[in-house]
Amino acid sequence: MRLAMNITLAIAATLAIPALFAATSDSSHPFTITISAPQNTIKVGDDILIHVVLTNVSDHGISIPPKTLDATCDYIIQIQGEKGLISSKPDCSGSHIMGIRQLKPGESVEGNITLSDIIHYDSKMDDMVKTFDFTSPGEYVIQLSRHISDDPDKEVVKSNNLTITVTE
């Protein structure tokens, strides 16, 4: 009876190992991005604060700009709301990169991004305008992405989805 139980446990453990490795991380991605919010429900007009954690999950150092949490320079931000999908692409023309630093295996960098403060130039209005409109009540699903390398044609790593509810 004890032999049968040991064999059953050994088979179960053998079958579970691939699932455990798959659940920990995608080995083809050198980092992960995790986003959260101090408040998942806000009122129209309130700032939308997002906490971002970028973690090196590779077995080697990865190069990152010294200010890796500059939302307008380093992340593609996608927000799905009632009016559809709005996306911003990183654009700083290299001006934010004053050097590169190494993020060691297992090391993380984190910081906050205020989505309601991100602006861009609108040629139709010939003025700077807010990129994301949170003036309508409803649910907004937010996701950040970052390219694996400086090549914009390369794969991106996506964060988890974060839902923010805006109320009147």
Radius of gyration of the chain (CA): 20
Contact 26, 33 (CB under 8 A): no
Residue 155, pLDDT > 80, answer yes
**Separation of alpha carbons 153 and 82, rounded Å:** 29
Task: Indicate if the alpha-carbon torsion angle 163, 142, 29, 72 is positive or negative.
Answer: negative
DSSP-derived secondary structure for 37-95: -S-SEEETTS--EEEEEEEE-SSS-EEE-SSTT-HHHH-EEEEEETTEEEEE----TTT
pLDDT tens digits along 28-43: 789 999 999 999 999 9
Measure Cα distances from 161 to 17, 36, 116, 157 in Å. 27, 9, 18, 13
What is the CATH topology of the domain spanning 28-167?
Immunoglobulin-like (2.60.40)
pLDDT tens digits along 81-114: 887 787 777 666 544 445 678 899 999 999 898 8
Contact 30, 58 (CB under 8 A): yes
Tell me what the pLDDT averaged over the chain comes to.
Answer: 77
Q: Residue 65: what pLDDT?
A: 73
In this structure, are strands 162-167 and 41-43 parallel, antiparallel, or unpaired?
parallel
pTM assigned to the model: 0.73
Residue spans of the domains in the chain: they are 28-167
Instruction: Give the lowest-confidence range in 10-14, 41-45, 77-81, 164-168.
Output: 10-14
Residue 50, pLDDT > 60, answer yes
